Amino acid sequence: MAIVLRSLHFLILLSVLCISASIPFALAQDENEFIYNGFLEAEDLRLDGAAAIDHTNGLLQLTNNLSPQQVGRAFNHFPIKFDTPSSLSFSTNFVFAIVPHLQNLGGHGIAFAISPSTNFTGRGLPNGYLGLFNDSNDGLSINRILAIELDTVPDPEFGDITSNHVGIDVNGMKSNELAPAMYFSNKEGKNISLDLLSGNPMHLWIDYDEAEKLLNVTLAPTRIPKPNRPLLSTSIDLSQILKESMYVGFSSATGTIGSDHYILGWSFNKSGPSQSLDVSSLPPLPERRKEKPSLVIITSLIAVAIVLITLAGAVAYILRRKKYEELLEDWEEEYGPHRFSYKNLHKATKGFKDTELLGEGGFGKVYIGILASSNVQIAVKRISHDSKQGMKEFVAEIVSMGRLRHRNLVQLLGYCRRRGELLLVYDYMPNGSLDRFLYSNENPNLSWVQRFRIIKGVASGLLYLHEEWEQVVLHRDVKASNVLLDAGLNGRLGDFGLAKLYDHGTNPQTTRVVGTVGYLAPEITRTGRATTCSDVFAFGVFLLEVACGRKPIEGLRLPERVILVDWVTECCRRGAILDTSDPRLEGNYVVDEMELVLKLGLLCSLAMPAARPSMRQVVQFLDGDADLQELPHDSPIFGTFTTNESSDSMSFLSHASTRSMSTTNSILRVGR
Ligand SMILES: *[C@@H]1O[C@H](CO)[C@@H](O)[C@H](O)[C@H]1NC(C)=O
């Protein structure tokens, strides 16, 4: 009997235990109290708009990302009785999550609402109204709606201070009280902010105590219990709102940019503290697309970056190669020491900048440069040259001319070749070319002593080219602008041998005879062949140029003075050769030397090549080692002035009678 009783007792106890244990899960709820740890069996929920329950796990989703400007609501099916004189106090807590559609950018939020109706058709708009109000009814007391908003967008029109805030709204979106989302940490004793858009589940408690007319709102992450201090604690009289039957639930809305708004669990009690949710049994949120890039993406990004960097490097390398590209052929190997790299020349001349331009001559532009390796000043002549034809021979000559050493020659240091371009590197001559001293006022006037020294220097340089080197080198363009002055104002011949470049028929622009009009020996136009004699002719013109201080041809002169040679000849015949001396000298010259230079100039520029002296003779005359016979004044065309000449060296002067003024004139006028 006792055993029977005891077992009956046990059965009863067992069934009581079963029943009581099942209460929280069975959702068998009384009208004033209910709890949803997930909404799997929540038939009592009235869903509206986009709201839906995932029936696999019980997650309540109020809005989705299928369309913008959504509204989603979920209200308890049965109204809660707030009839006076019974208490208006209530208590609720729920777990929510807001997952923004764009990273850290979502809208608009969720509101827990107490409303006399669940029918919001035509009055609850999306966006900032959170599906509860519209622009005409917002703020009207007739609404009788209490809302606790979890707002993720600042609406200045509603006085929102920040996105990410919690507010208490009565009858409209303008909050009675609001605060940025944060929670009080009991452990640390301070407030810690929370990001509503973090996508993490959060816990909100709302408690209204009618006796104290105090509404407390408390926020916390789900991992910690309810904080001791609420986020909002507002004294408020809800008697005008909470009347008769009221529906409780959630309303949520999105804007153009939205969020997925979720409720994971919800507990409500009209007559005492709401039960705590079992956080561990709440439905899980959908797995989010990880914002952290996966390893694959990171690796491929790195790979792409490496490829891009390599490409950029290759392009830079190619551009650099192209920039400094040179032509270098096998046959140039032997010229190694004379070959400059284009890169070095480019650097030396600061990239051939215009500020480094020294001048522009018949052959191309000349730049000043400083070799980085040795700090030596150089002049770089840039000659455009398109053909490869004859280049080998020419470079060979250039290089062999690099071996020419004479103190009255501008030293050629080397060369460089690029496509369509030849660069010649010379010693830098600080005083520039002689013509700038003779014809421009920017430089000081040269004294006769200086001029005579220059003349002698150039003569000895030309003699070296003609006779003193291992082979005959023709200059072919002797003129004042090709005579450069070094630091001591010594004359140095430049540009020698260059004319040959055009002999190979490589420069399409020069169909002209090589040389310069006014300095061209008459036979050149006939034969086209340059000789040492034609160099002497040009040197003769140069002598007159320096002595008279004027160009060989000056169109603006009196007709009889246009051609310098003719004018000096004429004056010579009249016995007034000194009249032609440069007026800038103001008579300050050695008369014998002046006469010598003028007459030697005439002698050298005789029309008959054979009548001209050689450079060796010229040097002898200038040095006073040989005597230049008086040119007779009376001879109509110099013909007789050498008749008494006994000197062997002067015998050629007997041929001077062949000089033809008209031929000279016509030639000097070529190309004008
Ligand atoms: C706003 O809602 C009220 C009902 O509260 C309705 O009468 C009114 O037409 C609505 N206004 C607009 C602009 O939708």
pLDDT at 291: 55
- Closest-CA residue, ligand 1 atom 3, reads 123
CATH fold of 434-663 reads: Transferase(Phosphotransferase); domain 1 (1.10.510)
Cα dihedral value 518, 520, 522, 526, nearest 10: -130
Average pLDDT, the chain: 81
Residue 245 CA to ligand 1 center (angstroms) comes to 22
The candidate with the shortest Cα–Cα distance to 477, out of 436, 513, 451, is: 513
User: Can you tell me the mean pLDDT for 344-370?
Assistant: 85
Question: To test the ligand 1 pocket, which listed residue (71, 115, 123) has its Cβ within 8 A of the most ligand atoms?
Answer: 123
Q: Are 101 and 291 in contact (CB under 8 A)?
A: no
Residue 80 CA to ligand 1 center (angstroms) comes to 25
| Tokens 């002999």 sit on residue | 503
Residue 157 CA to ligand 1 center (angstroms) comes to 19
Q: Six-digit token pair at 369?
A: 């440069």
pLDDT at 116 over 90: yes
- Closest-CA residue, ligand 1 atom 4, reads 123
327 vs 300 pLDDT, higher one = 300
With a CB cutoff of 8 Å and minimum separation 6, the contacts of 631 are: 572, 599, 602, 603, 638, 641
Atom number, ligand 1, closest to the C-alpha of residue 135 = 13
Computed from CA positions of residues 54, 57, 61, 67, in that sequence, does the dihedral angle turn out positive or negative?
negative
Answer CATH for 324-427 from 3.30.420.40, 3.40.50.2000, 3.30.200.20, 2.60.40.10 = 3.30.200.20
- Closest-CA residue, ligand 1 atom 13, reads 136
Assign 3-state DSSP to the chain and report helix, strand, coil percentages, each to 5: 35, 25, 45
The full set of domain ranges for the chain reads: 44-275, 324-427, 434-663
pLDDT at 568: 92
Give the pLDDT band (50/70/90) at residue 400: confident
122 lines ligand 1 (CB under 6 A): yes
With a CB cutoff of 8 Å and minimum separation 6, the contacts of 412 are: 398, 401, 402, 404, 424, 425, 426
Q: Where are the beta strands (DSSP E) in 109-258?
A: 109-115, 146-151, 165-170, 175-180, 182-185, 190-193, 202-209, 214-221, 232-235, 245-253
Question: To test the ligand 1 pocket, which listed residue (136, 144, 171) has its Cβ within 8 A of the most ligand atoms?
Answer: 136
136 lines ligand 1 (CB under 6 A): yes
| Tokens 């490589």 sit on residue | 506
Q: CA-based diameter of the chain, in Å?
A: 180
* pLDDT tens sequence across 233-253: 999 999 889 888 899 999 999
Q: Six-digit token pair at 550?
A: 């004027």
CA 575 to chain centre: 72
Q: Six-digit token pair at 411?
A: 């030293």
The candidate with the shortest Cα–Cα distance to 238, out of 123, 82, 75, is: 82
As to burial, measured by CB atoms within 10 angstroms (0-12 exposed, 13-18 middle, 19+ buried), residue 587 is: exposed
As to burial, measured by CB atoms within 10 angstroms (0-12 exposed, 13-18 middle, 19+ buried), residue 408 is: buried
CA distance 520 to 205: 110
137 lines ligand 1 (CB under 6 A): yes
Question: Does CATH number 2.60.120.200 belong to domain 44-275?
Answer: yes
* pLDDT tens sequence across 437-466: 888 776 778 999 999 999 999 999 999 989
- Closest-CA residue, ligand 1 atom 8, reads 123
* Residue 465 DSSP label: I
Is residue 81 helix, strand or coil? strand
* pLDDT tens sequence across 628-647: 765 544 433 343 333 333 33
Give the pLDDT band (50/70/90) at residue 94: very high
pLDDT at 339: 78
**Whether residue 85 has a cis bond before it, omega within 30° of 0:** yes
CA distance 16 to 553: 134
Amino acid at the residue 650: M
Q: Give strand pairing partners of 425.
A: 380, 414
Residues assigned a catalytic role: 477
Which of 274-283, 286-295, 462-471 ranks highest by mean pLDDT?
274-283
Is residue 268 helix, strand or coil? strand
**183-206: b (≥16 Cβ within 10 Å) or e:** bbbeeeeeeeebbbbbbebbbbbb
Same fold, 44-275 and 434-663: no
Rounded to two decimals, the pTM is 0.49
Give the pLDDT band (50/70/90) at residue 333: low
